[in-house]
Every structure is written in structure tokens, then in C-alpha cells.
Chains A and B, each alone.
Chain A
Amino acid sequence: MSKLSNMELPSIFSSFAEARKNGFLAVKKLKEQGLGVVGTFCTYTPVEVFWAAGLVQVGLCSTSDETIPEAEKSLPRNLCPLIKASYGFAITDKCPYMYFSDLVVGETTCDGKKKMYELLGEIKDVHVMELPQSQSSPEAKAWWRGEVVKLKNKVATKFNKTITDADLTRAIKKRNQERLALKELYELSTLSPPPMTGLTQLQLLYGSQFKFNHQAKMADILGAIEKIKKVYAEGQRPVSEKAKRVVVTGCPMGGATEKLTRAIEESNGVVVAYENCTGAKQFDRLVPEEGDPWTNLADYYLAVGCAVMTPNPNRLELLGRLCRQFAADGVIEMTLTACQPYAIESRAIGQFLSQEKRPFMSLETDYSLGDFELLKTRVAAFIENLS
């Protein structure tokens, strides 16, 4: 563990590592300036709507098991840790982001989340968007566009704002710029050997969501890219050439689940790409900037390839593409305990990767740290047999 934690985040990236912590103060400051704060959970949330209204948007997905015991007083034990932790942080007031949120926006993604939002609604103003369960039909698209417009109306009423098409288009352009920059950042790991560890990549991507000023955030991301390129050009190699290149797929990561990346990178592997909501799934595509912004926005978000969709072809498409682009030696999937959609879809992923001739392993874990050695044994055996 020591080897990696020493090089966890070079000092140039400390602004990303610190972003979540500093973000608390930043949000407090913004709140004191009279800005409204919207808390969100999921990659399906069209954050451009909040940006268009001049609101602060912040991710509420929790990644630590600290408040799970409290949550289990109301929620079943056999529930996904992400849902339990998110609810736990809300009821214990331990998440300042939740605390500062004037509005919380969720979607009917999985059953666990949508029922948890009912409970959350008792203590916060929660707006739940009704997400269709499939992506391709015109009815589903029309429905979701309606939900996006409903969200706009909710935001307009709640915060007493008007949101014009021009406001939304500007917000789309801003968010697209960030997507492009973050994509450029993680695509640096197509290099062999990659210029950053998977842990660095994860912490950069995860940390970037807690930067609230667009200009500053863009400067930080582009600065990080330049710095990584520069030290690589100077010959610095943070990752061994022999490290096996792993693409990670499955449930969202960050915080406690960094343990999977650590297990991989302490076992002669390196995570080159994350095909999940912490990584490529958020940044891979752009919202079209021409045409009706509301339709564009709705279509973009509906196409996110999450296991809650049936069927879910977009996850396979992205995963296959990332494997080729990043020359993956293998794919490791992380599913969170009791996440039924991902656990069941695991079989389809295995079959798909078998056709693609990419070795695949699926691991189930939660937010506890007790299974680190168990994870590591399995990951090490998988990586040993890649060569």
C-alpha cells in the first residue's frame, strides 16, 4: 500500500484532492452570496438546467460507510451501500453538500434509489425525475424531454428564475467544454506506459466535480493535462511499462471504492480507463449545440448506458471502444453489494467481452475496507494470468 499512497497525488494535483473538502467552504461562500444550491446523485441529471439558472450544482453520491449504520435504522441492510450512505449522510447532517442543498434532484433509476428518495423527501425538498426504462423509442424520448422541461419549471418556481433557450445553450456549451477537457485528460492514459496511475486519474475525475467555478475549473483541468504531458515528455514514468492495462467497468467509484484501483495497482496492473459514472460515461459524448436545446439535452442524457436501462447497448458500445482505444489487457467490473441491475448485467458483459477476446473478472464489494485483501488476492490472480 505504501508505494502507491506515496505517489497518490503529486502536489500539482492537490487542488483536485482537496476539491471535495475545500468545496464545502466554497459552497458555503456561494450560498452566503445568495446563490441557490442543487444537490444531485446521478449521471442522468441534466445539470445544464441548473447552470442555465445560475445555480450551484453539487454531487451528493456518498462514497464512505461512515453513516451506513444510521441509515440502516430506516433502510434494509441488504441495500446498495451508495444508497444507504447517501441517505445516511442526509439524515445525520454529515454531508455539508446535502445540508446546503435547497433542492435535491433524483431520478427513478433503480428501485432502491427511487424508494430512498421518498424517505429523503421527508427532510429535504426532493424533485424526482421519472426516467424511462428504455432509450430508443420515440415515446421514451418524448417522455424524458417532458421530464427535463418539468425540472426546468420546478427550478424556475423554486428559485424564482427564468431560464431561456439561450441560457440553456450557453450552459450546454460550458459543460461540453468541461467534458472535452476531462476526456482529453483521461485519454492521456492511452499512452504506453500511461502517464498517470489509475488512482490519479480517478481522483482527478472525482475531484473535478467539486470545483464550482467554470473558468477556474477549466484552467485547473487544462493545467493538469499540460503538467502531465510535460513531465512525461521529460521522461518521468509513474507507471511501469510492464503493468497490465485494465479497464474498469460497473458501478460508480470514488472514496471507499478506490480500494479496487489500489488492489489493481499493487498487483502489477494499472487502470487506464473507467467505463463508469466516475469516468468515461460522463465525458465521452457531447450534447449537440445546434437545434432545440431541450431536445438535445434530453436525448443526450437518456442515452447514458446504465444497467437500469433495458436493453443497455450503449454500455457495451462504450466498453468495447474503450478496450480498443486503451489497448486493455483485461477488464475488471466492480458491482456494489445488492446492486441488482449491474449484478445481473454482469453476465452480458462477460459474454460480450468473451467475444471481444478480452479477459474479464467481476468483483462485488461495498464501502467497507475489510475485504481489501480478498479483493487483492482475486485481482492479483487475474493479473498474473494475463501474461
Chain B
Amino acid sequence: MTLVLGLDVGSTYCKGAVVGPEGLVAVLKEPTGWDLTGVGNLVIDRLKSLTNLMVLPVAATGFGRGAVAQALIRPTEITCHARGADYLLPGIRTIIDLGGQDTKVMIVESGKVKSFQMNDKCAAGTGRFLELALNRLAIDLNSLPDNWLPSTVSLTSPCAVFAETEILGLLSKGAPRLEILKAVVESLANRAASLAGRLEPTAPAVLTGGLAETPGLTVALTRAFGVPVNNLKNGSYAGAIGAALLLGRFNQKTTSHEKTPAERGPENIIWRR
């Protein structure tokens, strides 16, 4: 049995996944903290003991992938999320990854990235923004009811810091916390959708990242993107799984003909501030 370990060292969590030819074997995550190398080793050791294996080849991705010394390959999280999400839900076309410091929208085909957009130099629309708002509101994301209706209030500031000020303003006016929470989630979803403005998101679409299994988020994303966005089981491990797959090459598709460059790779990736 050949198993491989994928490690996704994100800004908030370090995720690990062990994958073999038969499928996903084990997953776990630890808060990243300050010690990237340390947390990487911790996840690797825990997965080794879970699988009773002394040796596991490691592939690392995520912003902290450089800190994982034993990694044999270090692909970007963009490539890994696409591979991992397509593995969890084959045939996926749109991936929305809400990360701690990055929000990415990827258009994929057969697990390969055709185009992507990514935020930069701005925390609005990332998990960090949501975390700030939740802390301020002292409320849990799961308090959003299923199929919740649009909020009666809205956040207008595109900046994570000013949005917090705006939240305080809404609270002082007596707006219910749940309505403000809805507005926060809507703002997040709209931000992700505007990031994808130049892409053409199509179904099936899924949410990956730490909040992949939170139903309240996909309600807002579906409204903002105009295509049904689904929760993805184990979606927070999509990057780690993708990294493992790239190293293990378990489900490599063989092609009988030489593909044209456009069929092989991404096209029309536009990145603007």
C-alpha cells in the first residue's frame, strides 16, 4: 500500500490528509500559530501514528509550504484546491475557496485550473474579515438558519477595518445581531463574486476552505454568484488532498492524443488589484 501525505499550511489552520490508491485515509488539522515548521511536523507525526506508518512521503502547499522541509513537492494552493475538490466531487467546475487570508475563485475542468482570481493586499472578503466580525458580534456562524432570507441591513464599506466600525454603528442603532451577521456574510459573498467578475462561474460550484461545511455561507454565495454553490464534505482539506494527489499520481488520466496548449492549461487569468 502506497500512501502519501498532503499538508496544507494555511494562515489559520494546518491541514493534513493521507491519501492512497483506494481513497482518503485520514485527515486532521491543527491551528497554525506562529511556528509553521513545528505545526507541520505535529500534523505529520499525528497522521503517521494514525496510519501506523513510519514513513509517509509529504507534499506541502499553502502559504507556509516553504517551511515544510521534508516536502518532496510544493505546488501552489491554487492547483491543489482544484485537484482536491475535483477528487471529492468529480466534475466540479467552480471552486470558491474562503481562506484565512486569501479568497480564491477557480474555474476548473477535470481537476485542472482553467482560470482563477485571488484577492491581494486586502483582507475584506477573507476568513479573517469574517473572524473579526464574529468576534465583535460574539455570535456563531451556525446561528444562521437554513435558507435564511437577505438581511434587512447592509454593510457598505469594502474594507475589513471600516466594516467593523460600520458594525458598531449598526449595533448602536439597535440592529439585531443576526441581521448584522447576515449582512457580514452577504458582504463576504459579494466580495467573492466581484472577484470572479471576469470569470464565468458555472455549476457545479463548491465552497472549500475552513468553512466549506457551513450551510449558512453557501446560501449567500449562491445568491451572489447566481449559480448554486454547495457545501463540500472535507472541503477544508481540499488543498491537502490535492497536494497528496499531485505527489501520489493515483488518478492520472492518460490521454491518447496530443492536446493543444489551450486544452492543456489555463487561459485568460486576469489579476487586478
Residues of A within 8 A of B (CB): 329-330, 337, 343, 346, 350, 353-354, 357-364, 371, 374, 377-378, 380-382, 384-387
Contacts and interface: CB of A to CB of B under 8 A. Distances in A.
Interface string B252-273: 0000000011111111111111
Given A329-B261, A381-B79, A385-B265, 19 more contacts: A350-B270, A353-B267, A359-B267, A361-B266, A361-B269, A362-B271, A362-B272, A364-B273, A371-B121, A374-B121, A380-B75, A380-B76, A381-B76, A382-B266, A384-B76, A386-B261, A386-B264, A386-B266, A387-B265
Contacts of A346: 270
A343 B272 contact: yes
Given A329-B261, A381-B113, A360 B269 contact: yes
Given A377-B76, A377-B118, A382 B269 contact: yes
Contact of A354 (B75, B268, B272): B268
B182 interface: no
Contacts of A364: 271-273
Contact of B262 (A343, A354, A371): A354
Contacts of A384: 75-76, 78-79, 113
A330 B265 contact: yes
27 contacts: A330-B265, A337-B273, A350-B268, A354-B267, A354-B268, A357-B261, A357-B262, A358-B262, A359-B264, A362-B271, A364-B272, A371-B121, A377-B77, A377-B78, A377-B118, A378-B118, A378-B271, A380-B76, A381-B266, A382-B266, A384-B76, A385-B114, A385-B265, A385-B266, A386-B265, A386-B266, A387-B264
Interface string B52-83: 00000000000000000000000111110000
Interface residues of B, number: 26
A362 B75 CA distance: 20
A385 B112 contact: yes
Nearest to B108: A385
A71 to B, nearest CB: 20
A260 to B, nearest CB: 12
Among B260, B263, B264, B265, find the residue whose CB has the most chain A CB atoms closer than 10 A: B265
Contacts of B78: 377-378, 381, 384
Interface in B222-270: 260-270
B271 A361 contact: yes
Interface in B5-32: none
B129 interface: no
Contacts of A386: 261, 264-266
Nearest to A370: B121
B113 A385 contact: yes
Nearest to B104: A381
Main secondary structure of the interface of B (DSSP, over half): mixed
A362 B121 contact: no
Contacts of A363: 271
Contacts of A387: 264-265
Nearest to A351: B268
A360 B267 contact: yes
Nearest to A346: B270
A346 B268 CA distance: 9
B268 A360 contact: yes
A379 to B, nearest CB: 9
Interface in B149-196: none
A360 B261 CA distance: 10
Contacts of B261: 329-330, 357-359, 386
A343 B118 CA distance: 17
A149 to B, nearest CB: 41
Contacts of B118: 377-378
Contacts of A350: 267-268, 270
A224 B189 CA distance: 54
B116 interface: yes
B131 interface: no
